């Protein structure tokens, strides 16, 4: 298994101490997270260092960015098996506000009109999650 340093370097990210710390923490999470979540998990780090690390990871395709309409930028760790880096579907619960990664469900490929080249797409489904559904 490759080390964190190798993984980051391979993606063009220089593995500094802060980046390694942040990466070590976020890979434990299989669902989406926000800057605020990471601040809570790692109160010893300052907000701007975390933010810069997140931006860098996103630019280098280590993270996916999700805009679920909550106004809070959410991220999830890229676990894409292929090079296309086309994101999986996300599910936002209208009750608890949690955004789930449905990693088994890929965004369907849509045919583009002549001259339009697709690079990325976002697919957020909204509804009620199983946890909230059971509480009803």
Q: Which is nearer to Zn ion, 19 or 74 (CB)?
A: 74
- Nearest-approach distance from CB 77 to Zn ion, in angstroms: 8
- Nearest-approach distance from CB 90 to Zn ion, in angstroms: 6
Burial class (CB in 10 A: 0-12, 13-18, 19+), 32: buried
**Residues contacting 58, CB < 8 A, separation 6+:** 64, 65, 75
DSSP 18-75: HHHHHHHHHTT-SS-EEHHHHHHH-TTS-HHHHHHHHHHHHHTTSEEEE--SSSS-EE
- Nearest-approach distance from CB 59 to Zn ion, in angstroms: 13
Q: Which is nearer to Zn ion, 4 or 78 (CB)?
A: 78
Residues near Zn ion (CB under 5 A) are 76, 78, 80, 85, 93, 95-96, 101, 129, 132
Question: In what order do the strands lie in the sheet containing 63-66?
Answer: 33-34, 74-77, 63-66
Give the C-alpha separation, 73 to 41, whole Å. 17
Q: Which is nearer to Zn ion, 54 or 101 (CB)?
A: 101
- Nearest-approach distance from CB 108 to Zn ion, in angstroms: 16
Q: Which is nearer to Zn ion, 46 or 126 (CB)?
A: 126
- Nearest-approach distance from CB 119 to Zn ion, in angstroms: 12
Q: Which is nearer to Zn ion, 22 or 76 (CB)?
A: 76
């Amino acid at each position: 298994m490759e080390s964190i340093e190798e993984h980051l370097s391979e993606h063009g990210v220089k593995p500094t101490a802060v980046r390694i710390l942040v990466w070590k923490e976020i890979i434990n999470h299989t669902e989406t997270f926000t800057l605020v979540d990471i601040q809570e998990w790692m109160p010893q780090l300052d907000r701007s260092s975390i933010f810069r690390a997140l931006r860098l990871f996103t630019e280098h395709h280590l993270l996916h960015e999700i805009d679920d309409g909550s106004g809070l930028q959410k991220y999830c760790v890229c676990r894409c098996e292929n090079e296309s880096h086309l994101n999986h579907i996300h599910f936002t619960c209208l009750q608890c506000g949690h955004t789930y990664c449905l990693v088994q469900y890929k965004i369907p490929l849509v045919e583009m009109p002549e001259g339009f080249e697709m690079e990325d797409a976002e697919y957020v489904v909204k509804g009620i999650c199983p946890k909230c559904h059971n509480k009803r």
